[in-house]
Each structure stands twice: as C-alpha cells, then as structure tokens.
Amino acid sequence: MSTMQGRFGLVTGAGSGIGRASAVRLARAGAAVLVTDIDGDAAEATAATIRSAAGGVAFSMRTDIADEDSVQAMVAACVERFGRLDFAHNNAGIVGTQHRLVDYSTAEYDRILAINLKGTFLCMRAELQVMVPQRSGSIVNTASAASIKGSAADAVYTASKHGVAGLTKVAALENARRGIRVNSVCPGVILTGILEEVERTNPEQFQKTKSLMPINRYGLPEEIAEAVLWLCSDASSLMTGQMMAVDGGWSTM
C-alpha cells in the first residue's frame, strides 16, 4: 500500500478529470493537498470533496499555469500553509483542436505550447526551487501516450507532450543526487468530460474509438490516480526519469 501520511503537496488541473481523481486519491492516502485549477470554483469543489467525503486536508486556489506569477503564488501558498512541498502532480493541460499539421494556426500552436509545455516548465521550476534546498520531493507530470508515439491529426499536442517527456528526463537527471525524483504518467484515452460529450453526441464514434483500444475500453481517471499516488510515494523510490504508460496497451500498437 502506498501511504502519504505526513506529506504535503499540490495538484494542478484538479478541478476535474485526472487531476481531481489524483487529488482525492492522494488525500485518501493521507496527504494534505493544495488543489489548483484555472477554474477556481471547480478547484474548491474538489477540495470540499476531500474535506468531506474523503475526510482529508485540502485547500484550493485559482492558478493559471501559463502565467509565471500565478505559478509562483501557487507554490508559495503551499509552502506558507504546509511549511514544505513533498510532492507535486503537474496535471493541468489542454488537448486543443485536431488538424493536419499544415492546417494549424500559429495562434493555436502558441496556445497549446504555452499551457502544456511552458506551463509544466514553470511549475517544475518553481517546485524545484523549494525541493532542492529540502533535498527531497517527488514530481509527477501528466504527459501522454502521445509522448511515446505519434498520433495523426494531433501534431501540436503530441509535440507539447514530447516536450514534457524531455523536461521530465532532464530534471530527473539533474536532481537524482539531491533526493528528488521526477517522473511522468502517460495516460491513454481516458473517460473524462470530453469523451462523455462524444458519447452523448456521437455514440457511433465513441464506440469506434473504444474498439481500437487493445483492452476494448477506455481508461478511468481513478486508474491514472493510482499510478500518480505510487509515483509520489516512497513505494516507487527507485523510479526517476520514467515515462509510465497507463494506456491499456495503446502505445504498444
């Protein structure tokens, strides 16, 4: 069993989906969690769930990970409230619209990279500024199965998540002798709000996409949360610099 008793940290993009599931699961394992999201109300709803249903310790704040000042304020708030930063799950990101590479606008490219890649960089940098003096900590980035293989009509998202993979590996190497581990979890197609809308509006496409999965089903946010918990905990003490695929076999095809 992975335990997080006496650990303090944060989860970004925790107002819904994978981030919400991870924040709740970490709290159930004993961690105190700062829940952040660009939607402050959604972040508070997750924190309220932790405090009530999960019986855990959590507070929330609105954070825009593409904004340097917002990210610095997030990490400072965590340290002010808890006194340290033991773990961070950098989960916030966007998919964007899907096009052939030749049809992407520069504005869409800039938007996806600003959130997925620059945002992850800003979070990691701020977190490491706290963890390095502590000489301890675990960072888990949400990369993607698209960090491992390419996907047609998804060029910019794929590029951003390959970038997250690179940041993860370099940060892991730079900090391996400082007691800090840095890994990424790589989800496949997960049943979150976007897919639920596809199921409602285009059930044929929903079933077709599911049939392409080797396990013939979509993943659940809670399944990714279990991997995040393990990577944040001491149970994965030998893991650093790894891209952990949790995708039902999609990246092996």
E strands along 110-179, which residues?
137-142
- Tell me the pLDDT band of 152, cut-offs 50, 70 and 90: confident
Q: 168 with 161: CB under 8 angstroms?
A: no
**How is domain 8-189+219-245 classified at the CATH fold level?**
Rossmann fold (3.40.50)
Task: Give residue-wise pLDDT tens across range 161-206.
Answer: 999 999 999 999 999 999 999 999 999 999 988 788 778 888 898 8
Give the active site residues: 157
Task: Give residue-wise pLDDT tens across range 127-147.
Answer: 999 999 999 999 999 999 989
Residue 19: left (phi > 0), alpha (psi -120 to 50), or beta? alpha
Structural domain boundaries of the chain? 8-189+219-245
- Tell me the pLDDT band of 208, cut-offs 50, 70 and 90: confident
Task: Give residue-wise pLDDT tens across range 5-46.
Answer: 999 999 999 999 999 999 999 999 999 999 999 999 999 999
What pLDDT was estimated at residue 153? Answer: 79
- Tell me the pLDDT band of 1, cut-offs 50, 70 and 90: low
Please give the biggest Cα pair distance in the chain: 53
Q: 183 with 140: CB under 8 angstroms?
A: yes
